Amino acid sequence: MNELLTIARKEFFQAITNKGVLIAAFIFAVWFPVFTTLGILAGISGDPGTALAGHLASISVMLAIFMGYLFSSDAFFREKKDGTILTLLCAPVSLRQIWEGKVLGVATAAYGMTLLSVLITVAVAFAFSPVGITLPWLLLVHLVLILPIYAAASAGIIGSAQLYLGMRENQFLGMGFVFLFIFLIFGLQAFISPEGGVTIQNELFFFVLGFVLLLLGRRWAGRLSKERIVRTIA
């Protein structure tokens, strides 16, 4: 447990001190949700609180996934590219502990950035809405329970893939994720109508899917070997 937390702390502090990644994450965290939220509020005809909650429920999941990808790319691929992962592989810790520690540290940073984005979006919505907004309590459950699962699932799957794939294949992984992210945007918008708000059924769906994705990433990491990672560095 101590080794896992040590790795997690290292990854977390590296994530929040990487200016390039932080700037990219902050720009996306502010620009994308704020402008889409203003568009939602301008076009609704029903309760603005319900519409805002439904919009935040879908867009925050996308943000958590994107932030998990952004921070995990720096944590996994950077160390593999620089060769510093070799030092960690020689440490007296299992590969599973390395993966779990990295995912925990990366997911914490990704979750924090996602929450910051949601808070900024809510503040802007409250400031520009012509009427009062009351958000449902279920949105708080979504923010506290669902988002960290998706941040960890995204970091875990991307991290496992980057450790498993070779350097050339990792270059295509980023492009593939961009297309997947675009597909996810349209898919979630079709699945969750903003005017429908946040529902227990949707939250259960998000929870089950996120938990399955997290287990998938962990299972993939369990199939990795240190020899495989070393062979794919060259």
pLDDT band at 215; cut points 50, 70, 90: very high
CA angle 123, 16, 66 (to 5 degrees): 65
Rounded Cα distance between 164 and 225, Å, is: 9
When pLDDT is averaged across residues 159-167 and rounded to a whole number, the result is: 81
Of 128-137, 156-165, 189-198, the range with the highest mean pLDDT is 156-165
Spans of all domains in the chain: 2-231
State residue 111's pLDDT score: 95
pLDDT at 162 over 60: yes
Rounded Cα distance between 209 and 196, Å, is: 20
State residue 230's pLDDT score: 78
- Among the ranges given (57-71, 139-153, 164-178, 214-228), the one the predictor scored with the smallest mean pLDDT: 164-178
- Among the ranges given (135-149, 154-168, 177-191), the one the predictor scored with the smallest mean pLDDT: 177-191
State residue 192's pLDDT score: 60
- Among the ranges given (40-49, 115-124, 193-202, 213-222), the one the predictor scored with the smallest mean pLDDT: 40-49
Rounded Cα distance between 20 and 22, Å, is: 5
Rounded Cα distance between 141 and 146, Å, is: 7
pTM of the predicted protein model: 0.86
- Percent pLDDT > 90 in the chain is 15
State residue 109's pLDDT score: 94
State residue 174's pLDDT score: 66
In eight-state DSSP terms, residue 22 is H
Identity of residue 185: I
pLDDT at 179 over 70: no
- Of 163, 202, 200, the closest CA to residue 85 belongs to 163
State residue 222's pLDDT score: 82
Identity of residue 171: Q
First to last CA, the chain: 31
State residue 151's pLDDT score: 94
- Which residues have C-beta within 8 Å of that of residue 193, sequence separation ≥ 6? 54
pLDDT digits (tens, 9 = 90+) for 3-56: 788 888 988 988 888 888 888 888 888 887 777 777 666 666 667 777 778 778
pLDDT digits (tens, 9 = 90+) for 77-126: 777 777 777 777 777 788 888 889 999 999 999 999 999 998 888 888 88
pLDDT band at 175; cut points 50, 70, 90: low
State residue 193's pLDDT score: 56
Question: Would you say 127 and 38 are in contact if contact means Cβ atoms under 8 Å apart?
Answer: no
pLDDT band at 231; cut points 50, 70, 90: confident
